[in-house]
Structure 1
């Protein structure tokens, strides 16, 4: 089904606003070899938390709102990213999820953002009742370098647009913007886990989630570990679903990260023990610490999991 709105058009408006505010946000703006528009949000230009917040909203195709707030839940780590969407499936799974594997020679990055919804290269899109149409596309990469020409050609070709109508934002996880936009995926990981448990996506009607702002670190594995731990030990999500109450209860019980056999150690330790192989890590770990699911037909809310400030201290210290 072609939607009445375009994720890429909404994201393009946010992208051009980010370009306009680049100096204020300490971002670098450039044109690539094929005319693609590039924003450096943490490599040669420092970027910052506000840039990361806005990039997270771009990742969600304009269908999500991200706010930096304070929350006393986690003691020493009060600064919190709160994410909300009234279209959580499209915002998170059709756009924000980093599901597009892009490689050329030594360059490798996972692509996220609404360009995925134009290219539709992932099996997931066969389950999503959404077909984007746009003259522009926006892609976000967790990378310290802009993509090479071959990647730009591939992305533009797969999206059916001219290369000079492609906007690419790149930021390494070690940067403030990179760390912030990754933690802002706290709602997305809950949606992904619900999908992995075969909960019908069309019954997830709304969602709100929060996780503490992870302090960046110059070492990639440590920085990546902290962003994951922010969600695994400090993330909270509330989903609003239709359908049988028993299925809402079951979803709540299985969403928290503590249901994983790998739960407990800082993620960087788990990653190193797995020798950098994500597929050797239990997929159930990638989810918020605490879940609430409300069954809309009955009004009952089911709770499961809890935050773990001690484990978070061990990761963030």
Structure 2
């Protein structure tokens, strides 16, 4: 099977070639690792955010920014289409690797997760491993990693630090906001995986989701980005056939529906394990069954909740 790490090296080359244009900054550490600041100290850009997100999908997704209007406000939407979405989303994009290394904290996602097999049960479920020597990792953090952090990642991926490329952005950055808006399909597949559905039955998928405005704080930016998906995210799946579990793969099925994520996170004291997992999915889901020829829609859009989350009011 194709290596998702090898599959994204072309995007790394493009980012490095366009470094000044994209407003990013690359660093070569003493251990020969490459760190690319896409939105920590560097301001970043729309182009950097799109490439950052495409790397996170293992090269199996295409992303563009398209216009959208909600309550007379012009907003940016991310438009995503993905082939082999179980591999792109669960095998790469899912932010499932928590980094806590001697004072450094961050969340790792992207292709290198498939080498480290974090978490192992998920990779067993989708039956995928990647043995590439090149380890390309996305990191969400308020700080850039140094040598000790890269050494740790390299060890977990059974490779040398010089083979590691880390792309880093904080949630309250342009790149951070863009990548979070592209997680709609990932959230749907993760919810279906939790419900016991074999996500390999989904052959292709797409989404359109508002890109949340960048807020001053990390938690505020994460809250509005999550609300974008839960209250106005739209996903389309090509699946083997219709399944009863699809109706439970929309946010309206959650007992927390109707609350903003910032409020939910405060109630749970930042512990995501205490939040109803049904909330972490899309607002609206359409599924086309390829074998039964049936198309069904689930869930609903909630523009009022989204505008409240963004702090926008009509004048």
Q: How many angstroms apart in 2 are the aligned matches of 1:278 and 1:121?
A: 18
| Aligned residue number for residue 282 of structure 2 | 288
| Aligned residue number for residue 85 of structure 2 | 88
User: Is 2:112 aligned against 1:115?
Assistant: yes
SS in 2 for 1:41: strand
| Aligned residue number for residue 210 of structure 1 | 208
| Aligned residue number for residue 198 of structure 2 | 200
| Aligned residue number for residue 64 of structure 1 | 61
User: Is 2:267 aligned against 1:273?
Assistant: yes
User: Is 2:239 aligned against 1:241?
Assistant: yes
| Aligned residue number for residue 154 of structure 1 | 152
Q: CA offsets, 1:134-162, max 9 Å, x none?
A: 22111001112122433212211222221
User: Is 2:135 aligned against 1:137?
Assistant: yes
Residues 195 and 201, structure 1, Cα contact 8 Å, conserved in 2:
yes
Residues 77 and 212, structure 1, Cα contact 8 Å, conserved in 2:
no
Q: How many angstroms apart in 2 are the aligned matches of 1:263 and 1:121?
A: 29
Q: CA deviation at 1:121?
A: 3.1
Q: CA deviation at 1:77?
A: 4.8
- TM-score norm. by structure 1 comes to 0.94
Q: How many angstroms apart in 2 are the aligned matches of 1:187 and 1:202?
A: 13
Q: Which ranges in structure 1 are unaligned for 5 or more consecutive residues? A: none
Q: CA offsets, 1:90-145, max 9 Å, x none?
A: 10010111111221122111110000111113121111222213221110011121
Q: How many angstroms apart in 2 are the aligned matches of 1:12 and 1:74?
A: 40
| Aligned residue number for residue 27 of structure 1 | 24
User: Is 2:92 aligned against 1:98?
Assistant: no
Q: How many angstroms apart in 1 are the aligned matches of 2:71 and 2:111?
A: 32
How many residues are aligned here? 310
User: Is 2:36 aligned against 1:42?
Assistant: no
Q: CA deviation at 1:71?
A: 3.0
| Aligned residue number for residue 17 of structure 1 | 14
Q: CA offsets, 1:19-44, max 9 Å, x none?
A: 11110000011112311101111121
Q: How many angstroms apart in 2 are the aligned matches of 1:121 and 1:59?
A: 15
Q: Which ranges in structure 2 are unaligned for 5 or more consecutive residues? A: none
| Aligned residue number for residue 175 of structure 2 | 177
Q: How does 1:220-239 map to 2 (within 5 A)?
A: 220-239=218-237
Decide which of 186, 189, 193 is 2:187's aligned counterpart.
Answer: 189
Residues 39 and 176, structure 2, Cα contact 8 Å, conserved in 1:
yes
Residues 40 and 144, structure 2, Cα contact 8 Å, conserved in 1:
no
| Aligned residue number for residue 311 of structure 1 | 305
Deviates more, 1:76-85 or 1:51-60: 76-85
Q: CA deviation at 1:73?
A: 5.9
SS in 2 for 1:133: coil
Q: CA offsets, 1:233-290, max 9 Å, x none?
A: 11011111114x3x2xx23311111111111121111111222111111111010100
SS in 1 for 2:178: helix
- TM-score norm. by structure 2 comes to 0.95
Q: How many angstroms apart in 2 are the aligned matches of 1:187 and 1:228?
A: 13
Q: How many angstroms apart in 2 are the aligned matches of 1:281 and 1:76?
A: 30
Divergent runs of 4+, >6 A: none
Q: How many angstroms apart in 2 are the aligned matches of 1:269 and 1:302?
A: 32
Q: How many angstroms apart in 2 are the aligned matches of 1:106 and 1:42?
A: 20
SS in 2 for 1:34: coil
Q: How many angstroms apart in 2 are the aligned matches of 1:15 and 1:196?
A: 32
